[in-house]
Amino acid sequence: MKKMILEDSLYGALAAVAGRRGRPVQELANEAIASWLADAALDDADYVAVKSARAEAARQGGVEFEAFFDALESDRN
């Protein structure tokens, strides 16, 4: 087990929720951190997938949306 220091206002809000739910502060903190880490892992996986898709599109001659729409706009003028 490791210790960490929380801002007083953050700890107070967490303690209030824990009290209302009848659960220990540590349990809620661990759940919140685990949830955040899972979201961060998904964000990382999404970033890798998007980067891969962009590279594949470029290999196939595709262009970025912004460049595509900029070209359309310049063709109109």
DSSP 33-55: HHHHHHHHHHHHHHHHHHHHHHH
Q: What is the pLDDT of residue 26?
A: 95
Q: What is the pLDDT of residue 65?
A: 78
Domain boundaries, the chain: 8-76
Distance (Å, whole) CA 50 – CA 56: 10
Q: What is the pLDDT of residue 24?
A: 97
What pTM did the predictor assign?
0.58
Q: What is the pLDDT of residue 74?
A: 85
Residues of the chain with pLDDT under 70: none
